[in-house]
A and B are shown apart, each in its own frame.
Chain A
């Protein structure tokens, strides 16, 4: 999909540029942007690396298990049918923690593992269980404690207050997650897994 979007962005620019008599300007601007992109990357590379370093210290210090304990009541509420110390619940908690700390590289493999565990507990494997939907939605509206990339990009763009978006991001993400979770709960009541009363085998 991104292939079509990108391809059409270029083609559309060329066509509209030609119609507007700005073909040369269009191409020059494109080349200029390519030239400047290295400056952009260099200007936020330092801040990005600093945050990755800090987050690595947090990770090595065992912050994940600490946050996991804090999250336990919430995850139990969201996944009432999963055993509290089962492998599915453990990987789910680890995935949420990685997302919170902004460790995207660690979050995805954990998320895939959690999906695999949820798949094992599924009664009708062709259909996504409520737990899978809840978990995926948690990941498509993920909550990050310090949005490091955005702060780095803002600082690189010369912002005087690169941090001022932190609380707005917390509020907006929180609201987005809440809406997504309520939608999952309501919609899955409206259209449960068909041809079976059992949506998911009980893990207990």
Chain B
């Protein structure tokens, strides 16, 4: 049994400690911390603007899927598989879209957090899945385009094994820590 109290303590203190270290190191190394912060925040708003249209597209499509009853239908069909793996049905669309589209899965996560609640098992598990996996197909395609490689050999199967492991581990960890 893992020490749940310790884990929640680490979560609470990880952020202030990292924050304090970054600022202290910055001041110590004579970084213009205020100006750096402003220019970083500027990059942040650019990211947000880039994400917005994607979020809009995905949230709209998901809302329509849910309102029409198509979402229930999809979940109904994949339920046997996900029950076997112990993954909640609501998370399945996220797990399926995650390796394909980064922006799209941010949209789905937003939808799950707003409909199921961020502090529910589904919300937490979805957050952990999102954080422990990557846009596998996109990354593979973009990275190998920088080379002359025609056969990517073991890269795709190994990456997908990693994704599956990440998804199953996420659900399992959430079940142990949050019950």
Q: Which residues on A are within 8 Å of B, measured CB to CB?
A: 1-2, 5-6, 9-10, 12-17, 20, 22-23, 25-34, 36-38, 40-41, 44-45, 48-63, 105, 108, 111-113, 115-116, 118-119, 122, 125-128, 132-133, 135-137, 139-142, 144-147, 149-150, 153-154, 156-169, 171-173, 175-181, 183-184, 187-188, 191, 193
**Closest CB in chain B relative to A98 CB, distance in Å:** 13
4 nearest interchain CB pairs? A56-B40, A180-B162, A176-B166, A52-B44
Interchain CB contact (< 8 A) of A108 among B33, B97, B113, B142: B142
Q: Could you say which residues of chain A place their CB within 8 Å of the CB of B146?
A: 112-113, 115-116, 119
Contact present for A60 and B162 (CB under 8 Å): no
Q: Which residues on B are within 8 Å of A, measured CB to CB?
A: 7-8, 10-12, 14-15, 18-19, 22-23, 25-26, 29, 31-33, 36-45, 47-48, 51-52, 55-70, 73, 97, 100-101, 104, 106, 109-110, 113-114, 117-119, 123-124, 127-137, 139-140, 142-155, 157-159, 161-163, 165-166, 169-170, 173-174, 177-178
Contact present for B144 and A115 (CB under 8 Å): yes
Q: Could you say which residues of chain A place their CB within 8 Å of the CB of B10?
A: 166-167
Residue in B12, B25, B137, B153 with the greatest tally of chain A CB atoms within 10 Å = B153
Interchain CB contact (< 8 A) of B63 among A30, A41, A136, A193: A30
Contact present for B159 and A136 (CB under 8 Å): yes
Main SS class of interface, B: helix
* A-B pair number, CB within 8 angstroms: 363
Contact present for A53 and B109 (CB under 8 Å): no
